Each structure stands twice: as structure tokens, then as C-alpha cells.
Structure 1
């Protein structure tokens, strides 16, 4: 699994290699994969993993942290590149497929770990939005946090729904599945983000008028 940037010294350790191996196994097999499964994939003994991490739960926590870091680096790199270079990142998709599938599995599974990783992604989206607005790539929002939350939850939710409706998209086939999903969603996503859907702003103006009226009414009736 590619680390999306030159690896720091700590990522040259056996512990980091075991963590990266665990991310690949969790992505391919799900979080029910055992320590023995991860050890076999890494070519080490299960005892070595226990020695480094203590438990599978601790190992997953470190995997979550690394996946969010990789996501941040990849997004920052995409924003920093000119559009032409950003599109070439699609050709490198296989290098990051395990990270994407790990995120999908985590959010789909839910629970505290899934919720936490989702909140991390939303926080990152808010930061990316602010960077994009500052650089002129992204339009400003009346509520940046709400927009970021909507974009993250709707995009992840849409992909998870695709997986439910298309059983042929098997997450265990990490690379081909991610490429198939990206091929299907990239054009409509860029169209929506770039050109929008509604031809004029009448609906937005009416909603803002309604929201302002509702807010004024509520403040007048609140003791």
C-alpha cells in the first residue's frame, strides 16, 4: 500500500509495516479478519503483532489514524496540483484503493469506530473547503460546516448504496471495485460540483426568504 508521501522514519519500522498490512487485510476481508489473517498476509507470526499492538482493537485504532492521515495527504495533494495533474491521479488509483475500501467498510459497519472516522472525514472536508475558498478553487458557503457534512455523508452514502444494489461490486476485490466506482461517479460528481443542476437561483432565494421568516417568527414567539 502506497503511503501517499515519502515515509517518515517511523514508517520504516516493522510496526508500521504491520499496520499497513492490517489496513490491506481489513479492506479486503472486513474487520472480522483475525490477527492470524493479518500475520499470514504480512508473513510474520501472530505473536509479533500482539507484541507490537497488544490487541486487535489497538491495531485497528492505529489503522484508523493512518487511513485518515493518508486521506488528508491525498486530498491536499489533489488540491495543490493543477487540474490536469489531478486527473492523472486517477491512474494511480490502485495505490490508494485499500484506503478507500477501508473507509467504506468502516462507515458501513457503523459503531463508534465508524462514526469517529466519519467525523474525521467531515473535519478534513471543512479544512479542505476553507483552503479551496482561500485559493479561489471553491465557492464560499453560507454554512461551510453544514455543506462539508452533506457532501461527505451523501457521497459515502451513495457509494454504500451502490454496493448494496450491485452485488457484483465485491469489496474483497479492492482495486477493480474502487476503479469501477470511480469510473461511474467521477463525471456526474464533477458536473454537479462545477455546473450545478438548477438553472437559476429562484429556489435558493425562496428558501432563504422562508428560513429568514421562520427564524424571525421563532425569535418573536420565544419568551
Structure 2
């Protein structure tokens, strides 16, 4: 039932009815209510599961070779479910969506710390700020991508993943691997101005972070 709910939320949004979720799972709506108690409790469990699967997918990619990653990721049905679920959570804008975003940032910080320790990426002068920036940039790109290119069939999770991957993979890898500026003049000037010690970022839903 939980996996059916995750897919229903991903494909149709959080307004989808318990009856529709139950039909997808092949059970009655009463059984869904009996098992989870409420739709809010069901969503909370789905959020936790999606975050865990997203974290595991990221960690697995660290352990795999680049060839293994690219053999699997572009056509990953699970990847399509995850990105659509995350999209719905961000666009939802309610407290649950805000909390979900903050949890994504926390997971990103943990992953970045591990990647730095393993020598996979360079360290940052402000790791929490970098984690927040990367997540918010990624989520913003995700929202805009699907606003401009809504999937023809949100239920076809593998195709959703393939089309999104085709748009973002090359520019993301170029930017992360090769950088953007040809010299560090702007960074050096910023550091010399003494403004690098910025205060901690506010939560994703506060005015500080907007």
C-alpha cells in the first residue's frame, strides 16, 4: 500500500484520494485508513520512505563506477518515481513540503561530507551553505523543467526519468567536473572583501532563504 501511495502521489499529486490509492494497491480505502490512520500519516510514511530511497540511490552511485551509474540511471523507473514525488513535495508548499525540503538538505550535507572525506569532491569553505545551495538550485531546476515540459504520461516513470536525464546530465556534469569561470578572480575578490563568513542560512520556508 505504501509503494502504491508513493506512485499515486508522484503521478497525481497529494490531492489524490485514498480511494484512488487503494485501487492502485488492489485493496479497499477502509483498509488503507485502518493501516495508516489518516492520509497525513500515510504521506509522512511515504516522505520517510522516499528520502531513504533517495539517500540509498545517491550512496549506491558513490560506490559504483561511472559506467555502472550510466548503465542504470537514465532508464531508472524508481528514479522517475523519486523525482516526481520530490517535485510534488516542493510544489506543494505546505509545512510537509517545507520539512521535506529541509530533510533533503540535511541528506545532501551528509552525502557531501562523505564525498569530501573520500576525495571525490573538493571541500567547501561553508559546507552547510553549499548543501543548501545545491539542493535549492536542483529543486528550482526541477520545478521549471516540469513546468515547461510537463510529462505526457506521468505514470510512465521510466520515460520521465529518461527525458529529464537527457536535459540535465551533460550541463550538470560539465559544470561540476570542469567548473565555469576560467580563473578565480571573482572568488578571490569576494574573499578579499571579507564577506565570506555569512550567517547560517534560514530554513527553506523563511524569508531569510528567499
Same-fold call, TM cutoff 0.5: yes
C-alpha separation in 2, matches of 1:112 and 1:213 = 31
SS in 2 for 1:211: coil
- CA, structure 1 residues 213+194, in 2 after alignment: closer, same or farther (shift >3 Å)? closer
Task: Report the CA distance between 1:120 and its aligned residue.
Answer: 0.8
Q: Matches of 2:74 and 2:90 in 1, distance apart?
A: 25
| Aligned partner of 2:17 among 34, 42, 54 | 34
Q: How does 1:46-195 map to 2 (within 5 A)?
A: 46-167=29-150, 171-195=154-178
| Gap runs ≥5 in structure 2 | 199-210
Per-residue deviation, 1:172: 4.8
How far apart in 2 are the matches of 1:133 and 1:76? 13
Larger Rg: 1
Over the residues paired in the alignment, what is the CA RMSD in angstroms? 1.8
Residue 136 of structure 1: CA displacement? 0.6
* Structure 1, unpaired ranges of 5+: 1-17, 216-223
Structure 1: which 4+ aligned runs deviate by more than 6 Å?
Answer: none
In the superposition, relative to structure 1, how do residues 155 and 169 fare at CA in structure 2: closer, same or farther (>3 Å)? farther
TM-score by structure 1 length?
Answer: 0.83
CA distance in 2, matches of 1:93, 1:198: 33
TM-score (norm: length of structure 2):
0.88
Measured at CA, do residues 198 and 169 of structure 1 come closer, stay the same or move farther in structure 2, by a change above 3 Å? farther
In structure 2, distance between residues paired with 1:169 and 1:209: 50
Aligned length: 198
